[in-house]
Structure formats: structure tokens, C-alpha cells
Structure 1
Amino acid sequence: MRALLTCSYNGTHFLGSQTQSETKNTVFGQIEHVLNEINITSKPQPSGRTDKGVHASGQTFHIDLPEFWTDLKKLKRILNEMLPNSIKILTIKEVDEEFHARYSAKSRVYRYLIKTTYSNPFEDDFISFYKDVNFEEIQKKMPVFVGEYDFKQFMKTGSDTGSTVREIYRSFAYKHKGLIVLNFEANGFLRSQIRLMVGALLKLSESEIKEQLECTKQHKIKPALANGLYLAKIKY
């Protein structure tokens, strides 16, 4: 049986989500270890990867279950008992054998959380604190990203990808309970693309962002902090 699992995680103390041979201190390193403990040897296939310090409220992955694992409610309970508290399995459901968590995805939704007050120890791992952020200006600039562009100037050096062209379907900002929330939905994202997009929103004018998108001029930008970024949802 092929199963699709949805999970959330606090990425603060993990070295990213992707399994690494030299350490188990990654999100899927922990998940794979627990799966092996209950005799599920299928390697989890995630919808994508997140960097060190990035969180998820709706990450997905698929696995192929052995014949003796038919009770999905029991499997969810056992996984949540064995996984660290920073990782939570939200749902498990059966899918077609041809389904792939990454390649079957139609879009991916990320959110970035900003607060303009002073940072504090209770929120610092989960919200990026930037003073002097003008919400109205950010809100006005957000739609500039919508469309299909070559995002090679919004990509971390060393990214392993066949194409740097991506299509942004939605890009907007809103306020929620004292937070500025930046919402991005696309067919896919390059490594650190969203953090560099947020960095551009914080530093560049709308015309400068357009120059960067159209690859007519490159402006120096720093990626925004990782702690405010969440993989929110994978749409199938």
C-alpha cells in the first residue's frame, strides 16, 4: 500500500529536512529512523526540502507500506509516540501506486511571518523580527512576483536544479494578530528562493525587483532569516 503522510515540524534545531548520510539530525532523518524501527524500510519521499531553521505546517511525503501495516490510525499513533515532539504526523491516507508526493503536486504554498516589534525569547524561533517594515509598501510590491520568470537571481549558489524557471500563482501580504504574513504559491521553488524574495521585498524598490526578475540587472540582497518561513501546504 502506498500512503501519503502530512506532517508538521519545528525546524529550529534540525539541519534541514533532507536525510543526510553524516547525521540523523534532520527531519526526514528522524522520520526514516522511526520507520525502520517499526519495520517499514521504504524510504520516505517528501514533496520537497526545507533548509535549516525552516518550519512546516503541511509538509507531505509518501511511503510504501508492507502488507502487515493496514491500520493507518494505529500507524499514526505509533509514529507520533516515537517521533520527537518537534515532529507531528497529522494525517495518513492511502493513495494510488502511481502517486508521488513531489511529482504529483500541483502547487506549493509557503508563508513568511514578520513582526516589527523587538524580538523576545518566546517567539524568536518562529517569527522573523524586522523593525521599520512598511506594510503598505510590502503589500504593494508583493504582486510583482506573480507570473513565470527565470529566478536564477533568486537562488542560493550551489543549487542542484535542471531549470531555474518557476511560475508564481499567488503573492500577497496581509496582517494577522500583530503579524505581517507574506503568502507565496507556485508550481515550485528553488533553494532559498522565498527567503531571497523576502529579502528583496525588505530592501529593493518595485522597479529594482522587476530588474532582478527580468535578469536585466542584479542587485545585492541577503536572504531573509529562516525562522519566519513555513511550508504551509502542498496542493494535489
Structure 2
Amino acid sequence: MRVALYLAYNGTHFFGSQTQKETANTVLGELENVLKKLGIKQKVVASGRTDKGVHATMQVCHIDLPPYWSDIKKLQKVLNKMLCNALHVKKIIQVNDDFHARYSAKKRSYRYIIKTTPSNPFEKDFITFLQNIDFKTIEQNIRLFIGEHDFKQFMKTGSPIKSTRRVIYKAFAYKHKNCIILHFEANGFLRSQIRLMVGALLTLQQEEIQKQLDCEQKYKIKPAPPNGLYLSKITY
């Protein structure tokens, strides 16, 4: 039986989401380690990867369960008792055998949170603190990313990919109390693409962003810190 697991996690405690040879301290590493203790040795497949320090309010994975784990409600309870506090299974649902957490996904949504007040130790792992932010400029420039573009100038190298073209359906900014929220929705994202786009919004002029987006010129951009970024929704 194939099931989809909806996860939430605090990325501060993990070296990214994907399993790694160098460390077991990743989101899928932690999940697969607990599943093995329950006799479930099948590989977990996630909708996509998140960098070290990046959070998720909705990450989706799929796995094929052995017959003796047909009670998925019980499995959810057992997993949440055994997993570390930084990782939580929000729900488990049965899906079709051809469902694929990554390839069946149609849209992926992220939010980036910036707070304009002085930093404090209680929120620093979850919010990027930046003062003197020009919200109106960010609100205007973020729209440049909407549409289909070649984002090869907005990615980190290291992952094999077939194409660097992506379609961004939504990109907008809004205020909520003392926070500025940047929202991105696309058919997919390249490695560190959102952090580099946010970095561009914070440091480049409109003309410079457009030139880099058109692959006419590449500017040196520092990726925005990972702690403000959240994978918020996967649409199937």
C-alpha cells in the first residue's frame, strides 16, 4: 500500500531534508531511521529538497508500506512518539500506486518571512531580521519573477537537472504586523533559487534583476538566510 506522509519540521535541527552519506541528521534520515525500527525498510521519496535551516509547514513524501502496517492512523501516532521533536507527521493518507511525491506535484509554494524589528533570540531560528527594508520596491520588483524564465542565474550548482527553466505562477509581497512576507508559487524551484531571488530583491535594482533574469548579466548575490524560508504547500 502506497501512502503519502504530510510533514512539518524545524529545519534548524537538520542538515537539509535529503538523506546524506555524511550524516544521518537530515529530515528523511531521521524519518527512515524510525521507520526501519518499525520494520519499514522501503525508501521515502519527498516532493523536493530543502536546504539546511529551511523549514516546512507542509512537506509531502510517499512510501510503500508492508502489509502488516495497514493501520495508518496507528502508524502516525507511533511515528510522532518516536520522531524527534523537530519533525512531526501531520497526516498519512492512502494514495494510488502511481502517485509520486515529486513527479505528481503540480505546484510548490514557499514563504519567506522578514521582520523589521530588532532581532530577538526567541525568533531568530524562524525569521530573518532586517531593518530599513524598502517594502514598496520589493513589492514591485518581486513581480519580475512571474512567468516562465530560465533561472540558471538563480541557482546553486551541485544537483543534476534537465532544464533550468521554471514557471512561477505567483510572486508577491505583503505585510503582516511587523513582518514582510514574500510568497512564491511555481511548478518547481532550482537549488537555493528562492534564497537567491530574495537576495536579489534585497540588494539589486530593478534593472539589474531583469538583466540577470534575462541571462544578460550575472551579479554577485548572497543567498538570503535559510531560517526565514518555509515550504508551505504542495499541490497535486
Q: TM-score, normalised by structure 1?
A: 0.98
Q: What is the SS of the residue equivalent to 1:196?
A: helix
| Structure 2 equivalent of residue 159 of structure 1 | 159
Q: Output the amino acid matched with 2:187.
A: N
| Structure 1 equivalent of residue 205 of structure 2 | 205
Q: What is the SS of the residue equivalent to 1:166?
A: strand
1:36-185 equivalence runs, <5 A: 36-185=36-185
Single out whichever of 64-73 and 154-163 deviates more from structure 2. Answer: 154-163
Question: Residue deviations 1:167-213, cap 9 Å, x none?
Answer: 10100011113210000000000100000000000011122111111
- How many residue pairs match? The answer is 236
Question: Residue deviations 1:130-176, cap 9 Å, x none?
Answer: 12111111111111100111101001133321211111010001111
Any gaps of 5 or more consecutive residues in structure 1?
Answer: none
Q: What is the SS of the residue equivalent to 2:215?
A: coil
Counterpart check, 1:11 vs 2:11: yes
Distance 1:205 1:159 in 2: 29
Instruction: Using the aligned pairs only, state the percent identity.
Output: 61
Q: What is the SS of the residue equivalent to 1:43?
A: coil
Question: Residue deviations 1:14-71, cap 9 Å, x none?
Answer: 1111001221111110000000000111110000000000000000000001101111
Distance 1:104 1:124 in 2: 34
| Structure 2 equivalent of residue 190 of structure 1 | 190
Distance 1:166 1:124 in 2: 31
RMSD: 0.8
Q: What is the SS of the residue equivalent to 2:12?
A: coil
Q: What is the SS of the residue equivalent to 1:153?
A: coil
Distance 1:23 1:219 in 2: 33
Distance 2:112 2:22 in 1: 30
Q: Output the amino acid matched with 2:132.
A: D
Distance 1:43 1:61 in 2: 10
Distance 1:88 1:38 in 2: 17
Distance 2:159 2:24 in 1: 22
Structure 1 segments (4+ residues) deviating >4 Å: none
| Structure 2 equivalent of residue 220 of structure 1 | 220
